[in-house]
Amino acid sequence: MDKKIEEEVKRRRTFAIISHPDAGKTTITEQLLLFSGAIREAGTVKAKGKKSNKFAKSDWMEIEKQRGISVTSSVMQVDYDGFQVNILDTPGHEDFSEDTYRTLMAVDAAVMVVDTGKGIEPQTKKLFEVVSRRGIPIFTFMNKLDRDGREPLDLVAELEEVLGIDAYPMNWPMGMGKTLLGLYDLYNQRVEIRKSEEEDLFIPLDQEGQANGNHEFKESSIYTQAIEDAQLLHEAGNEFDREAINSGKLTPVFFGSALTGFGVQTFLDAFVDLAPAPSTVVTVDNTKIDPVDEQFTGFIFKIQANMNPAHRDRIAFVRIVSGRFVKGMNVVLNRTGKTIRMAHTTQFLADAREEVQDAYPGDIIGLYDTGNFQIGDTIYDGNRKVQFPELPQFTPELFMKVAPKNIMKQKSFHKGIQQLVQEGAIQLYKTFHTEEYIIGAVGQLQFEVFQYRLLHEYNAEVEMTPMGSKIARWIDEKDLDPKMSSSRNLLAKDRFDNPVFLFENQFAENWFKDKHPEIELMQLM
């Protein structure tokens, strides 16, 4: 076994933040970068997300520049306390897309950031469900403790009730907003208080669970109440169980404030300690690929097109599963059997893209691609053939009817659609009877990218007619009765000709279920 690979695997932590827009994902990422020394100034990450000069340096696709947002997930790699931390960004806001979900297939853990004023919000729930099905650990950060929010007991109960995951509070807030005194931290057996704007003070607990020594806050009923709540939770609540954490059944919950940095370091320290290093991945023929195997293997989870409009480059994002990547090495692309030299690769550091020299399991590298790769492709070196399972498809929620604007350009329209669908940029459906094209997406931005790329890469203008959001449910061929189609439950077929209903809303789906209880309605992941 290669000692170097083993060491590097051990210190890798690859994760994504799942949250609803505005919960504080950017702010907490920035704190991580600050603590790691990757940036010196708060506000840097944010500036990148908005229109700024920093942006001109990179050559993201045109649409991205216009909107001043990052179209698809990017990756950041930082050193934190000896750990190599890889953060995969999961775009929220309007740039939510299927890539956001796919990115979650390439991480070993997730950090769920919740706004304590709001609790579990819709996008958090959606992302949680995808992560939860993978059975990977989920760490919860209850953010914005510097503001008045909801009752901590309520928030924890909501996690369990709305998401169906057990919770284990790692620390407990002593007050909130203006009355915030600190954190009562049973996990580390200490009380954490803010000493100055940047510094926290840690006071160890004595045998009775009281903060050692004389402190003013000990006089406060807020302190006494926090101890009572925390101890009650420890007696009546879930037990700390590493295995349950590892399999995503129990989420460790931390309180803090990303904005002021309070509690963030405590959270990060526990996170790198408890989150798993990259682990074994099973191939389609049930071979277990251990990350410390010497054979290099990886899979492509995302393709970003037109990062440089001048060159029409695409970048294929590879998650390394095993072995060592070395610049210039030859790999086999499993789907075609072709050997490809990995000469131009890029790694994602905090504020610049750099050529990678070598990389290890858990790392994400970007390959400049001229059209060789597809989402879900496996690459490997050496003689042993490896194929990782395909990535799941996600049930789209937004639909549009599409047709070529110019009938003379039909050919390029069809070619463009086929290629974009194959690449995973959009999903394709047809109305069952009339075979009109319908495209499906999980976020509005996918439509814009689709339209833009069809025009710029295939010279085809499209007519798009929004159909709004629909609930897509697949049925078995044997249950198919074309007469069932109506405007409230439009019958369509997916690109493999499987029948699928597009229900107008929940009411329409329920109505259908009542009328046809024998028909099973299925969804993608």
Is 65 marked as a binding-site residue?
A: no
Figure out which of the listed residues 18, 23, 120, 183 binds ligand G4P, where binding follows CB under 6 A. 23
**Cα–Cα distance measured from residue 22 to residue 98, given in angstroms and rounded to the nearest whole number:** 20
Is 278 marked as a binding-site residue?
A: no
Minimum CB separation from ligand G4P for residue 263, in Å? Answer: 9
Of 213, 233, 215, the closest CA to residue 225 belongs to 233
Minimum CB separation from ligand G4P for residue 117, in Å? Answer: 9
Is 56 marked as a binding-site residue?
A: no
**Cα–Cα distance measured from residue 132 to residue 141, given in angstroms and rounded to the nearest whole number:** 16
Main-chain phi, psi angles of 74, to 5 degrees: -115, 180
Contacts to ligand G4P from residues 138-177, by CB under 6 A: 143-144, 146-147
Is 140 marked as a binding-site residue?
A: no
94 three-state secondary structure: helix
Q: Is 61 left (phi over 0), alpha (psi -120 to 50) or beta?
A: beta
Figure out which of the listed residues 140, 257, 378, 395 binds ligand G4P, where binding follows CB under 6 A. 257
Is 26 marked as a binding-site residue?
A: yes
Please report whether residue 19 would count as binding ligand G4P according to CB under 6 A. yes
Give, as one character, the DSSP assignment of residue 212. Answer: S
| Burial of residue 355 (number of CB atoms within 10 Å: 0-12, 13-18, 19+) | exposed
Figure out which of the listed residues 32, 131, 180, 258 binds ligand G4P, where binding follows CB under 6 A. 258
Please report whether residue 374 would count as binding ligand G4P according to CB under 6 A. no
**Cα–Cα distance measured from residue 162 to residue 150, given in angstroms and rounded to the nearest whole number:** 15
Of 436, 417, 437, 414, the closest CA to residue 426 belongs to 417
Q: What is the 3-state secondary structure (H, E, C) of 470-520?
A: CEEEECCHHHCCHHHCCCCEEEEEECCCCEEEEECCHHHHHHHHHHCCCCC
Please report whether residue 27 would count as binding ligand G4P according to CB under 6 A. yes
Contacts to ligand G4P from residues 259-288, by CB under 6 A: 259
Main-chain phi, psi angles of 250, to 5 degrees: -130, 130
In this complex, which beta carbon is closest to ligand G4P, that of residue 87 or of residue 320?
A: 87
Minimum CB separation from ligand G4P for residue 22, in Å? Answer: 4
Is 234 marked as a binding-site residue?
A: no
Please report whether residue 26 would count as binding ligand G4P according to CB under 6 A. yes
In this complex, which beta carbon is closest to ligand G4P, that of residue 92 or of residue 440?
A: 92
Minimum CB separation from ligand G4P for residue 192, in Å? Answer: 15
Size of the site for ligand G4P (CB under 6 A): 17
Is 24 marked as a binding-site residue?
A: yes
Query: In 3-state terms, the chain is what percent helix, strand and coil (to 5)?
Result: 30, 30, 40
Minimum CB separation from ligand G4P for residue 363, in Å? Answer: 24
Binding mask 36-55 for ligand G4P (x = CB under 6 A): ----------x---------
Of 470, 402, 472, 396, the closest CA to residue 440 belongs to 396
Minimum CB separation from ligand G4P for residue 30, in Å? Answer: 8
Q: Is 515 left (phi over 0), alpha (psi -120 to 50) or beta?
A: alpha
Minimum CB separation from ligand G4P for residue 201, in Å? Answer: 19
Please report whether residue 182 would count as binding ligand G4P according to CB under 6 A. no
- Taken in order 366, 371, 377, 383, is the CA torsion positive or negative? negative
In this complex, which beta carbon is closest to ligand G4P, that of residue 39 or of residue 439?
A: 39
| Span of 6-14, 206-214, 216-224, 257-265 interacting with ligand G4P by CB under 6 A | 257-265
Please report whether residue 309 would count as binding ligand G4P according to CB under 6 A. no
Of 104, 88, 87, 113, the closest CA to residue 24 belongs to 113
Figure out which of the listed residues 22, 129, 436, 457 binds ligand G4P, where binding follows CB under 6 A. 22
| Span of 19-27, 212-220, 421-429, 462-470 interacting with ligand G4P by CB under 6 A | 19-27
Is 425 marked as a binding-site residue?
A: no
187-218 burial, b if ≥16 CB within 10 A, otherwise e?
A: ebebbbbbeeeeebebbebeeeeebeeebebe
Is 44 marked as a binding-site residue?
A: no
Is 337 marked as a binding-site residue?
A: no
Please report whether residue 95 would count as binding ligand G4P according to CB under 6 A. no
Token digits of residue 457: 């890469």
In this complex, which beta carbon is closest to ligand G4P, that of residue 121 or of residue 461?
A: 121
Listed in sequence order, the residues at least 6 apart from 187 whose beta carbon sits closer than 8 Å to its beta carbon are 170, 171, 240, 252, 270
Minimum CB separation from ligand G4P for residue 31, in Å? Answer: 9
In this complex, which beta carbon is closest to ligand G4P, that of residue 259 or of residue 426?
A: 259
The strand pair at 75-80 and 12-19 is best described as unpaired
In this complex, which beta carbon is closest to ligand G4P, that of residue 23 or of residue 176?
A: 23
Contacts to ligand G4P from residues 430-449, by CB under 6 A: none
Figure out which of the listed residues 21, 237, 276, 382 binds ligand G4P, where binding follows CB under 6 A. 21
CA distances from 395 to 227, 340, 465, 517 (A): 45, 33, 20, 22
Listed in sequence order, the residues at least 6 apart from 279 whose beta carbon sits closer than 8 Å to its beta carbon are 108, 291
Residue holding tokens 């009923």?
221
- Taken in order 355, 361, 364, 366, is the CA torsion positive or negative? positive
Is 23 marked as a binding-site residue?
A: yes
Is 381 marked as a binding-site residue?
A: no
Residue list for the binding site = 19-26, 89-93, 143-146
Using CB under 6 A as the criterion, which residues of the chain lie in contact with ligand G4P when the complex forms?
Answer: 19, 21-27, 46, 92, 143-144, 146-147, 257-259
Residue list for the binding site for GTP = 19-26, 89-93, 143-146
